[in-house]
Amino acid sequence: MVTKTIAQLFDLKGKTALVTGGAMGIGKGIAERLGEAGANVVIADINPEQGQKTVAELKAKTVKSAFIQVDIRKTAEIENAVDFTVKTFGGLDILVNNAGIFPFMPILNMTEDFWDKVLDTNLKSAFFFAQKAAKIMVENKKGGRIINVASIDALHPTGNLTAYDSSKGGLVMMTKAIALELGKSGINVNAIAPGGIQTPGAQQGTLTMMQASGLKPEDFEAMGKAFTARIPLGRQGDPDDIATVALFLASDASRYITGETIVVDGGYLLS
């Protein structure tokens, strides 16, 4: 039954969002769109300089915004970031588990520390953020949204990214498991699986991949071209390609979707 206009469906006024890794890249793009739709936005990031800069940019666009420094690998800091959000804006309605790392490492060189760092950052943190946010959402009895930024690597592996691919595969299943349990509390839990998106992290990943694999810059350029050539829509993505989908998942337009992963890759996985 149609009860809301399109503008009302996407209106996030009065809602509060927490975006992990919102200082730059995809997280920054998501913070901008949620803020534009009217949400208060907390940027939770390990990088204070970049995080404060992004908050200043949001404030300049009249978005109510605040920064909290957090290393998402530490559960005490996760608790603190959610408490800070509730203290600053009076609640938490939308959690975006976006922060993640994607360092390359051939299987034979993988160490336990490396594995733990990737899994703690990309998977464990998302669980404890979701748990803490869900406690607030259940207590407030207003429901909520949890959006996990996974990757097409959750569905299709890339060489030298075993720890990353495992963490993102776990995140997709965790999305379903949490959605199943929290549906009765009116909390929708979904994931986005981006393809190749041009961000500072992706650029850095390119460098580490070159180092890990011993590729020369010209070989790497050829690989980049081959990757783009496989994308049916003919280009790599930018953060706003993901941010608009996150806005949809945060909005009432997606109210009957939960436990789902939306692939946003320009069709890469089709080819």
Ligand X SMILES: NC(=O)c1ccc[n+]([C@@H]2O[C@H](COP(=O)([O-])OP(=O)(O)OC[C@H]3O[C@@H](n4cnc5c(N)ncnc54)[C@H](O)[C@@H]3O)[C@@H](O)[C@H]2O)c1
Alpha-carbon separation of residue 208 from 106, 118, 204, 217, 254 (angstroms): 12, 14, 6, 12, 37
Q: Which one-letter DSSP state was computed for residue 259? A: S
The interface region with ligand X, picked from 3-11, 24-32, 139-147, 253-261 by CB under 6 A, is 24-32
Tell me which amino acid residue 227 is: F
Q: Residue 195 Cβ, how far from ligand X at the closest point, in Å? A: 6
Burial of 157 (0-12, 13-18, 19+ CB in 10 A): middle
Q: Residue 220 Cβ, how far from ligand X at the closest point, in Å? A: 15
Which residue in 70, 147, 182, 247 binds ligand X (CB under 6 A)? 70
Q: Residue 104 Cβ, how far from ligand X at the closest point, in Å? A: 13
Q: Is 83 in the site for ligand X (CB under 6 A)?
A: no
Residue 206 CA to its chain's centroid (Å): 20
Is-contact 61 36, C-beta < 8 A?
yes
Residue 26 CA to its chain's centroid (Å): 7
Q: Is 73 in the site for ligand X (CB under 6 A)?
A: yes
Q: Is 238 in the site for ligand X (CB under 6 A)?
A: no
Q: Which one-letter DSSP state was computed for residue 69? A: E
Structure tokens at 210: 């070159």
- Convert residues 26-55 into a mask of x (bound to ligand X by CB under 6 A) and - (unbound): xx-----------------xxx--x-----
Q: Residue 33 Cβ, how far from ligand X at the closest point, in Å? A: 14
Q: Is 25 in the site for ligand X (CB under 6 A)?
A: yes
The interface region with ligand X, picked from 79-87, 127-135, 136-144, 189-197 by CB under 6 A, is 189-197
Q: Which one-letter DSSP state was computed for residue 156? A: S
By C-beta, is 18 or 72 nearer to ligand X?
A: 72
Structure tokens at 4: 């809301």
Which residue in 30, 41, 149, 187 binds ligand X (CB under 6 A)? 149
Structure tokens at 69: 């420094």
By C-beta, is 182 or 193 nearer to ligand X?
A: 193
Q: Is 101 in the site for ligand X (CB under 6 A)?
A: yes
* Annotated catalytic residue within 10, 67, 129, 164: 164
Q: Is 151 in the site for ligand X (CB under 6 A)?
A: yes
C-alpha neighbours within 13 Å on the C-beta side of residue 195:
20
The interface region with ligand X, picked from 20-28, 88-96, 129-137, 211-219 by CB under 6 A, is 20-28
Scanning the chain, the segments in alpha helix (DSSP H) are 6-9, 25-36, 48-60, 75-89, 112-119, 125-140, 162-182, 200-213, 217-229, 239-250
Tell me which amino acid residue 130 is: A
Annotated active-site residue 164? The verdict is: yes
Catalytic residue set: 164
Q: Which residues bind ligand X (CB under 6 A)?
A: 20-21, 23-27, 45-47, 50, 70-73, 98-102, 121, 149, 151, 194, 196-197, 199-202
